[in-house]
Structure 1
Amino acid sequence: MYVVFLCRKFYHSVKQIYLILTLAFINIAAFAQSGHIKGKISSADGQPAAFVTVGLKDTRKGAVTTEEGVFVLRNIKPGQYVLIISCTGTKTLHTPVTVVADQTADVSLSLEATSAQLNEIVVEGNRTRTINKRPVSIGKLPVAAIDLPQGVAVIGHEVLEEQQVQRLSDVVKNVNGVYMASTRAGTQEAFNARGYSFSSSNMFKNGARVNSGVMPEMSSLEKVEVLKGSAAILYGNVSPGAVLNMVTKQPSFSFGGEVNVRAGSFGLLKPAFDVYGPLSSKVAYRINGTFETTDSYRDKVHSKRYYVNPSLLFKLNERTTLLVQGDYLKHDFTPDFGIGSLDNTRIADVPRNSFFGTPWQYAHTQQSSAGAAIKHQLNDNWSLNGTLTYQRYSRDYYAVERIQADANGKWARPLNRAFNSENYYLAQVDLTGKFRTGGLEHNVLAGVDGDRYYTKAFSYNQPTIYDTINILHPELYTARTDVPDASRIKSVTTPINRFGVYVQDLIRINSKLNFLAGVRFSYLQNEAPTTLDMKTNTTSQTKAKYDHAFSPRLGLVYKPIESTALFISYANSFTPNNGLDIDSNALKPSVIDQYEAGIKNDFLGGKLSVNVTAYQIRNNNYAQTSPFQKDGVTPNNNANLKALIGKTLSRGVEVDIAGHPLPGLDVIAGYSYNNITIESTSGVTGGAVEGERLVGNPNHTGNASVFYTLQQSKLKGLKLGVGYYYIGQRFAGWNNTINQTQKYNRLISVPGFSTLDVSAGYSFKRFGVMAKVSNITNTYNYYVHENYSINPIPPTAFTGTVSYKF
């Protein structure tokens, strides 16, 4: 009966997609009495000219070129017309074009400016295409962000270069409502959005999920996109709040590249290269890579990274392209659990550089991926995109950890040896298209995706306790320095399969009103984990777990004027809760309701965007790592042992500001307020205390980045910048629970803090130099994971980059 039920659900989902596609192809015939104009605009040196305005004289038809320099004008009556191609800072072009019924006129034009000159125009702030008017690939539909009923943030490569970002946390500082919650042992950066943890399910690279156990490389990125609110219909079983997609640099059919060297405080040295160009008229390549070595403001902490990212682009024909790409990252570093807590109630008052690990402990992580993405334009209105991706991740780890000392600083150092790996496979196909039914214009997305995780984790027979030290008085004990023997005794293999089918329609009712509706069916299969006892060479299995759900989405966008959009939306999503409770029972999944409303505005003729969003997210079954084992006293160090704490309610407001209000001036700023609390513990045994704020989440965050490039002086090309970041007071530790055995308050209050960065740079012809002093006020604060990994933020530091572009 269960199989029959699933088959019926799947049948109805496929039937919906079939009906939509049937309507689409029927309505294509309606365009037989009109023609289309399709073209590509290039710079003088052959590079695609993005964000160029294209208009049709004496009509209201117009478009802006994509980042590939492509534009399309649809449904034009047959006749003679004049195309007007304009971009601030370049000569306007007037080109005659003939439109024939049921045909597409192809146009290829070149501007007089080179790509370098166009980039300079962008820096001068005269680009009229705002963040609201640009389509974002993370939304999967080729529509502008202003037409989507949810918040979107895009951090482009110009910002990444200006700010000399090293880690993803440097990028996220530009996105309000998203913040780094912790850096557990310095092994990974954990992010929250609107109160909820990202987890690895919410992190993507080029549209494919990536394991969050490694810190991704920033030098290869073209941009970072953040889709706030619900993304369950597009990406399946994601946590609420937001999803983040890292887009790597793509091949180009014109030759170019860059070499640079970055150096800075604490022994930072990072040479990098990026080379791209054509192999033939049909094949282009790109390869970039870097090596990074650095010490730390923390004693005995070191890091070394290797990264390479090759890619090939094939023009199979005029309508089809194939992108093949891969990357490899190797990161060797010292696990660092920071300065620790005392008596599980307060942060230890010790110097920022105090290191309480061993001199030999290590973490070796590797991540590699290979993928292919094909794009095929079926006709002027319909396109088909397919992706295949394989990823492998592994971590080899041995260290003392979980710094939890008693009130006097005495700490018995726990020891942990681990090795885990993950193989991940993804396949997805998306069909997008436009058609009309009467006076309604439909922009449809239909797709199918499936992925498979195959994880393996080993256990070792290392000693549980390494030795005892005192973190307040190191002279009281002599610390061990030897490496204990550890051999594998057990492995656990866990296969996970996921499948989804979805359809979404963005309906343009008229020039002022858009309506979005869609639904996704998700099916999740956690196959029975297999445990191998290496001592006896015997295997055992636990029960398999199956979950499925429908995730609907509705939204409305109203544009009273072209530069302003008001929107409201509702989405329901489904998130599985992995792991077991303290009684070894599987956890129930979470069903999440999200409501969002906002306004998107473009001011100063499109030079500045100011967006405001309000939201409410309710998770009916929130799970977090159990702080203790079943006895309620012994600290838990098993991340798969979870506890349900009840329903959570997240409410907040966000303000996003971005643009180029004056020539040479780039601005990104924002503020967010979020209040996420335990709403109800009804039906949960030993649930959390109602009304308590969820750990790890500040009420307030703020950010501002202002860069100005001199335009008219002998110092033309000189760039000055200031970056400000604020994160408010939040709680570490664990939320208190009803009838807990601990007599103390398990919440640890962490004060808010601000940091200030200043930057300066200069560009001359092909050479450039950029310098930054970060945390110039030497603010001292912490990122805290639960109550045992308390990592001080970096002190004042210098970073400089010298580059040459060719």
Structure 2
Amino acid sequence: MKNLISLLAIFLLSNIAFSQTAALTGSITDNNKNPLLGVNVLIKDSNMGTQTNEAGEFKINNIEPGDYILVISSLGYKSKEITVSISKSETKNINTIVLYEGNEILGEVVIEGERRNKFSRKKTAYVSKLSLQDIENTQVYSTITNELLKSQVVTNFDDALKNATGVEKLWASTGRGGDGAGYYSLRGFSVQPQLVNGLPGLTNGTINPANIERIEVLKGPSATLFGNAVSSYGGLINVVTKKPYIGTGGELSFTSGSYGLNQIVGDFNTALSKKDDLYFRLNTAYSTEQSFQDAGFRKSFFVAPSLSYKVNNKLSFSFYGEITQAEQTNPTFLFLNRSAPTEAANLDELGYNNKLSFTSNDLTLENPTQNYKVEMDYKLSDTWQSQTLISRSSTSTKGYYSYLFDYGILGNNTFSRFINKQNANTQTTDLQQNFTGDFKIASLRNRMVIGLDYFNETQTNNGTGYAFYGNITPDGGDNGDNPFTAEVEMDAYPLSTSGVDAVLASQGVSNVKSKYHIYSLYASDVINITENLSAMVGLRLDNFDNEGDVTNPDDDYHQTTLSPKFGMVYQPIKDRLSVFGNYQNGFTNVAPQLVGNPEDGPQTLQSFDPEQANQLEFGVKTNLFNNRLNATISYYDIKVKDRVITDPSSPFNKIQGGEVVSKGFEIEINANPINGLDIRAGYSNNDSETIKSDNTEILNRRPLEAGPETLYNFWANYEFQDGGLEGFGLGFGFNGASERLAINYESTGEFMLPSYTIANASVFYQADKYRIGLKLNNAFNKEYYKGWSTINPQMPRAVVANISYQF
């Protein structure tokens, strides 16, 4: 780390001066005459462009004389096109250009000209539901840009998230109904990706990266603005998709690699009517991939149409859709016993042959998913805007799901297989009405959002019960002795649909439909007390209405919760250095539970208060050397109280009052020290512990969902800027984690998965219209594992090649 800092310091002290004669200059502000940093300024139908500096100023050099159209765009602001004429050897200055806040979809133009720090996108309209620069935002978040994903030839969502500081996969997507997406550890708590463009967007499978513009990982409890349905106490993951832009263009890409990877991706954007400001974009992808184990595969077809329509300067509409058809074998983790120690205490004793999948390509799951969103933006006045949002999501699971569990009955590290036939569907509806304002009271600038939110989720489950389907040992042995029968059985259990269907014929089929509603009112205000000091204040009123099983009125319940948020930012150097602190809240609604020993009479229904999580955090953010160094350093302390646990003296009772503390620090650096060199680095350390609980199984122990204590990631990408090697580039990086506890209970002891460091490298050639890249993942073929009471082997060395053409 010291060597890295020294290297960055040397680069950042370099001064690269350009002396051009024909040039175009100007400045850009918002409607309050505040200079805007990072605005894209593009000469239409060319690759020439730049971004504004901290003073809102821009300069484009080496322009030939003639007439041009400038396209001005910035995230969260409405785009502008300006016609300019430039004479020979002229330095033309344009009067101040004013941008008005508005629809991000209509204002997003990606340019490659002189953009600095491509791995960092530090302005977003989603994190605070306001258009704020990161340096003035009291919340910490990591942004994974499309440029970073391209430089790493990323083909799956798990690899993309390796770039987010403090995020680690707990287990891969299982595809099963209700919770089949992947799980990740974030600040000591598990989280799933459930947000698309700031709205709920669920999946039972994996997310296709072909349509990702960027990924935003918000850190800490975030219920004040997003509620509890899509966030966890550690934060949330928001996927921002590609959207229509002004112009015509696109890209075709083909990627092929080890273990049967083949992926073709198409991206096309065009104007359906330039006169009416009606633009259309279509992203699509087809992927197939096999497993590095003896069985397993995944294939998917994905299409994402999007539309933007600017009716006039006040009113605009947008539509987004995402449709996925996917089929996969579910990964068969080894589930460790949660109530008794396994015979093996580590991987060496377990004797695990990780090339065995313990499944068959005949047993698959289908995961069709649909996400839709409609947005209407209306400018009420120069200071207020209305935003109406409607989103619908539907995700299903059909097919065979199995798991392997160590019951500790048969000995010899025997894991029993249980299997069922899934038939589940989850549907969500979300309606939001936001009013955003940018106004002054006396001399104080206020940027405010006031919102109403209605969320509904309906789950249907018509799957079968689980049936015993043979045993395995980690080294490849198998037998048919059912551990829950007295007899020693020698039955065969073939991994085929006919064999499984025969066993499942005796299992019952569920017929369960459950539903809940959330009604919310929230408000947040960023107040500029002085030019350099601002405060953020937010509050959410949340009413949770659970119908439970729609045929059973006895399991209905209601809960109302307040969720506050507060933060302050002081900028000793305006727009370059800020010191921040925040208080953030999260909560979880807890369903009533039947308690009491059934042998003593009928059980009674006991209700509980919502669980509460509160975070205190402070740190520093930088935007130095004309956007060449973005860094965030923070320390956080999260305390969760009122956790509901099982009564250790009776399995029939529940107790509320458990407390968990999770604290740590994070460092993230995005640097562009010299032209052509982009660096991304992150380091995090987390200390989590259950400090209060009547259940001694977990007391004073690190929760399993907390993952590793230490995580780190690094990626550097250099592209030669001139000479014979112009366009050629190299990439190198690594990511790793300290050891983690797969099991950590009083009765089980510890099962520790070892630490790891994985190295990756790439070479590429970037031309005007095409790019060729070669990537080596896990270069040293490291054998490593992840898990959450599970043992899940990870991908060995793999080579990926990509060719793409832009038009």
TM-score scaled to structure 1, two decimals? 0.81
CA distance in 1, matches of 2:50, 2:380: 23
Say whether residues 1:94 and 2:76 are aligned partners.
no
Corresponding position of 2:316: 321
Aligned length, in residue pairs: 707
CA distance in 2, matches of 1:643, 1:410: 34
The structural deviation recorded for 1:541 is 4.5
Q: Give deviations 1:644-673, integer Å, cap 9, x for gaps.
A: 782100010000101211110111101001
Residue identity in the other structure for 1:769:
I
Residue identity in the other structure for 1:665:
L
- In the alignment, is the contact (CA less than 8 A) between 1:494 and 1:529 conserved in 2? yes
Matched ranges for 1:764-779 at <5 A: 764-779=767-782
Q: Give deviations 1:438-494, integer Å, cap 9, x for gaps.
A: 2211111111111100111124256x2122344435276754242324466331111
CA distance in 2, matches of 1:349, 1:579: 43
The structural deviation recorded for 1:690 is 2.8
Structure-2 change in CA distance of 1:97 and 1:801 (3 Å): closer
- In the alignment, is the contact (CA less than 8 A) between 1:401 and 1:416 conserved in 2? no
Per the alignment, in what secondary structure is the counterpart of residue 119 of structure 1? Answer: coil
Residue identity in the other structure for 1:305:
S
Matching residue within 558, 566, 571 for 2:584: 571
CA distance in 1, matches of 2:591, 2:292: 36
- In the alignment, is the contact (CA less than 8 A) between 2:269 and 2:280 conserved in 1? yes
Decide which moves more: 301-310 or 473-482: 473-482
Corresponding position of 1:76: none
Matched ranges for 1:13-412 at <5 A: 41-45=41-45, 51-53=51-53, 66-67=74-75, 70=78, 93-96=92-95, 118-122=111-115, 125=116, 131-132=121-122, 134-183=123-172, 185=174, 188-199=181-192, 203-237=194-228, 238-281=231-274, 282=276, 283-338=278-333, 341=336, 342-343=342-343, 345-347=345-347, 348-404=350-406, 406=408, 407-412=411-416
Structure-2 change in CA distance of 1:266 and 1:220 (3 Å): same
Corresponding position of 1:654: 666
Q: Give deviations 1:279-319, integer Å, cap 9, x for gaps.
A: 10221101111111111101111111110001111111122
- In the alignment, is the contact (CA less than 8 A) between 1:85 and 1:92 conserved in 2? no
Corresponding position of 1:16: none
Say whether residues 1:513 and 2:522 are aligned partners.
no
The structural deviation recorded for 1:575 is 1.7
CA distance in 2, matches of 1:594, 1:34: 33
Matching residue within 687, 712, 734 for 2:722: 712
- In the alignment, is the contact (CA less than 8 A) between 1:49 and 1:67 conserved in 2? no
Structure-2 change in CA distance of 1:409 and 1:581 (3 Å): farther
CA distance in 1, matches of 2:759, 2:99: 53
Q: Give deviations 1:538-578, integer Å, cap 9, x for gaps.
A: xx443202111111111111111121111111123322245
CA distance in 2, matches of 1:156, 1:459: 39
Per the alignment, in what secondary structure is the counterpart of residue 601 of structure 1? Answer: strand
Structure-2 change in CA distance of 1:734 and 1:204 (3 Å): same
Say whether residues 1:421 and 2:425 are aligned partners.
yes
Matching residue within 672, 691, 702 for 1:679: 691
The structural deviation recorded for 1:642 is 9.5
CA distance in 2, matches of 1:570, 1:445: 18
Structure-2 change in CA distance of 1:480 and 1:449 (3 Å): same
Structure-2 change in CA distance of 1:171 and 1:34 (3 Å): closer
The structural deviation recorded for 1:732 is 1.3
Matching residue within 537, 547, 550 for 1:530: 550
Matched ranges for 1:454-473 at <5 A: 454-460=458-464, 464-472=467-475
CA distance in 2, matches of 1:317, 1:91: 35
CA distance in 2, matches of 1:592, 1:670: 25
Decide which moves more: 477-486 or 489-498: 477-486
TM-score scaled to structure 2, two decimals? 0.81
Matching residue within 701, 704, 725 for 1:695: 704
CA distance in 2, matches of 1:105, 1:298: 54
Structure-2 change in CA distance of 1:178 and 1:476 (3 Å): closer
The structural deviation recorded for 1:398 is 1.5
Structure-2 change in CA distance of 1:85 and 1:265 (3 Å): farther
- In the alignment, is the contact (CA less than 8 A) between 1:344 and 1:404 conserved in 2? no
The structural deviation recorded for 1:334 is 0.7
Decide which moves more: 761-770 or 665-674: 761-770
Per the alignment, in what secondary structure is the counterpart of residue 542 of structure 1? Answer: helix
Structure-2 change in CA distance of 1:705 and 1:473 (3 Å): closer
CA distance in 2, matches of 1:629, 1:260: 60
Structure-2 change in CA distance of 1:181 and 1:439 (3 Å): same
The structural deviation recorded for 1:680 is 0.8
- In the alignment, is the contact (CA less than 8 A) between 1:415 and 1:466 conserved in 2? yes
Q: Give deviations 1:65-102, integer Å, cap 9, x for gaps.
A: 51477589xxxxxxxxxx9999xxx996412479xxxx
Decide which moves more: 219-228 or 487-496: 487-496
- In the alignment, is the contact (CA less than 8 A) between 1:424 and 1:454 conserved in 2? yes
Structure-2 change in CA distance of 1:579 and 1:328 (3 Å): farther
- In the alignment, is the contact (CA less than 8 A) between 2:120 and 2:144 conserved in 1? no
Corresponding position of 2:555: 543
- In the alignment, is the contact (CA less than 8 A) between 1:50 and 1:66 conserved in 2? no
CA distance in 1, matches of 2:738, 2:85: 48
Structure-2 change in CA distance of 1:350 and 1:509 (3 Å): same
- In the alignment, is the contact (CA less than 8 A) between 2:222 and 2:585 conserved in 1? no
Corresponding position of 2:676: 664
CA distance in 2, matches of 1:191, 1:655: 19
- In the alignment, is the contact (CA less than 8 A) between 1:54 and 1:85 conserved in 2? no
Q: Which runs of 5+ in 2 are unaligned?
A: 1-30, 58-71, 101-108, 337-341, 481-491, 597-604
CA distance in 2, matches of 1:91, 1:665: 31
RMSD in angstroms over aligned alpha carbons? 3.5
Per the alignment, in what secondary structure is the counterpart of residue 599 of structure 1? Answer: strand
- In the alignment, is the contact (CA less than 8 A) between 1:621 and 1:645 conserved in 2? yes
Decide which moves more: 710-719 or 187-196: 187-196
CA distance in 1, matches of 2:332, 2:50: 46
Structure-2 change in CA distance of 1:147 and 1:323 (3 Å): same
The structural deviation recorded for 1:765 is 2.7
